[in-house]
Structure 1
Amino acid sequence: MALDATAVSLLVLGLLIVLAALADRLAGGALSAVPGAVRDTSIVGVLVALAGVPFALVATDEALAAADSPVLGWVVEYRTPGLTTAAEVVSLVGGTVGTGGLAVLSAVVLFGRGHRRTALIWVLGVVAGSVTIRLVKLAVERPRPPEYLRLAPETTASLPSGHALMSALGLGLTAAAVIALTVGTPRAALVRAVVVVLAVLGALLIGASRVYLGVHWTTDVVAGWLLGAALATTCITLARVLDARDRLDDSPAPNPWLRDPVTDSPKD
């Protein structure tokens, strides 16, 4: 079942308008007041629209095949026993249960530290990611690479890569939780840099392992990364906007969710 590119774009635009209006209403008009919130909402739209490109091209598949086949051929040519073992370990550890579970664990920590609503958003984000993987696979039904090239058994459809989506979502939410919980500590900037780098590298390695093992095309993985990043950005922005609604102007304690995740600057 192929999706028309125009329909995807219109659907994404309409959904973003509804979500932005709802978030702004829930926050009492705080969306524009939260540093980076409007920008992040726009980023979500761009990520989802880009992820929709492979879905729109599945009908003919020539364009996807032209992009995917050379990459898979190159990977197969340079396979080695050592790299295969490493890819299998990364794929196993970085499965949807592992990375999604890590985000849920970070939600438990957030809940224990008093960020109960944010913890709920994290859990709902992981659930949304799991549902998205299953629904999109059923809707698109893209075949996986030829079975003789695969180094791991898989029975579901190929697009998107569940490993890639959940790694971007789970590691992104975990990194955001660590950053928020360490705001104001002596090494907050160092922690921020380290967890962001680890989250990005982790997601890249997990997605790459799926291509190496021959169970996904490269565009499956890229679409998964984009959707996962979009969901993570949505969860983080929603948490910040809803907290903005509750913040008291004279509160002495800084709220970590009101800091711009890019510039790390608080709201004036």
Structure 2
Amino acid sequence: MALDATAVSLIVLGLLLGVAVLADRLAGGALADVPGALRDLAVVAVLVVAAGLVFALVATDEALAAADGPVLGWVLGVRTPGLTTTAEVVSLVGGTVGTGGLAVVSAVVLFARGMRRTAVIWVVGVAVGALTIRLVKLAVERPRPPEVSRLAEETTASLPSGHALMSALGLGLTAAAVVALAVGTPHERLVRRLAVALAVLGALVIGASRVYLGVHWTTDVLAGWLLGATLALTCVTLARVLDARARLGDGRDNPAVVSQPAE
């Protein structure tokens, strides 16, 4: 590997801490006053630490990395023509362009509905996700599973799974947009639960399809999910913080992103 994966995770953690400080400054030092912001940042920190552990275990061939081989062996034993076709379709539809594009479409809808600040953050988040995939692949340079086990052709490095990262990020941002647009509607709670459930299920199925097709190790997908979820939650938290600052500045209330729906 070109660079110790642990170092990569520490760099990412440092950048996210910098984002947290910047968000606090943008909020006028009132980050603690934004409902749920500190909680979300704590979750982001946990996700980054978890991703760092995955990177570290992969880099040092510890227990988690050693599990990749047995999982791939099990997958090879359960393959069927029907499952293969399903996995190929899921992988095609759930590619980085598809899930990232879905988030961009949701950003366009948010922009049209007047949530322009959030829309811009969504687009920037997708761009950062795409850049993260490329940079981490180049930095770590992990080989993919053996060619004999692959049912699809890939030429880039294995870690992280771009499909897994972008599905967690793209579907997460899309779900957040749906939740924002549903605030104040009669079925707000139902919409929120369905949006989150579908986003999680979609990301899980897309990531699993990459392992099934033999183009990624299980830890590649796990790292992708963790990084994608981290970026999605960071974007949502940043949008809420900036919206809170705008509300304090002009006295207007825009609850779509900032407010926490009543349980």
Shared fold (TM-score greater than 0.5)? yes
State the TM-score, normalized to the length of structure 1: 0.92
Structure 2: gaps (5+ residues): none
Partner of 2:131 in structure 1?
131
State the TM-score, normalized to the length of structure 2: 0.93
Q: Give the superposed CA RMSD.
A: 2.0
Relative to structure 1, the CA distance from residue 49 to residue 21 in structure 2 (aligned partners, 3 Å threshold; closer, same or farther) is: same
Within 1, Cα distance between the matches of 2:11 and 2:122? 24
Relative to structure 1, the CA distance from residue 81 to residue 253 in structure 2 (aligned partners, 3 Å threshold; closer, same or farther) is: same
Within 2, Cα distance between the matches of 1:152 and 1:133? 19
8 A Cα contact 1:58 1:142, kept in partner: no
Within 1, Cα distance between the matches of 2:189 and 2:90? 28
Structure 1 position 154, deviation (Å)? 0.5
Tell me the matched-pair count.
262
Partner of 1:34 in structure 2?
34
Within 2, Cα distance between the matches of 1:245 and 1:65? 44
Within 1, Cα distance between the matches of 2:182 and 2:21? 31
Partner of 1:3 in structure 2?
4
Structure 1: gaps (5+ residues): none
Relative to structure 1, the CA distance from residue 85 to residue 177 in structure 2 (aligned partners, 3 Å threshold; closer, same or farther) is: same
Structure 1 position 19, deviation (Å)? 1.8
Relative to structure 1, the CA distance from residue 186 to residue 214 in structure 2 (aligned partners, 3 Å threshold; closer, same or farther) is: same
8 A Cα contact 2:144 2:157, kept in partner: yes
Amino acid at match of 1:150: R
Give runs of aligned pairs for residues 140-151 of structure 1, distance below 5 A: 140-151=140-151
Q: Secondary structure at the match of 1:159?
A: coil
Partner of 2:198 in structure 1?
198
Structure 1 position 254, deviation (Å)? 5.0
Amino acid at match of 2:106: S
Structure 1 position 17, deviation (Å)? 3.3
Give runs of aligned pairs for residues 1-268 of structure 1, distance below 5 A: 1-3=2-4, 5=6, 7=7, 10-248=10-248, 255-260=255-260, 264-265=261-262
8 A Cα contact 2:164 2:207, kept in partner: yes
8 A Cα contact 1:58 1:140, kept in partner: no
Within 2, Cα distance between the matches of 1:107 and 1:60? 40
Deviation readout 1:201-224 (Å, 9 max, x if unpaired)? 000000000000000000000000
Farther off after superposition, 246-255 or 95-104:
246-255
8 A Cα contact 1:122 1:235, kept in partner: yes
Structure 1 position 15, deviation (Å)? 3.0
Deviation readout 1:249-268 (Å, 9 max, x if unpaired)? 996755121223xxx349xx
Within 2, Cα distance between the matches of 1:30 and 1:214? 47
Q: Secondary structure at the match of 1:247?
A: helix
Amino acid at match of 1:41: L
Within 1, Cα distance between the matches of 2:10 and 2:66? 27
8 A Cα contact 1:12 1:49, kept in partner: no
Report percent identity of matched pairs. Answer: 74
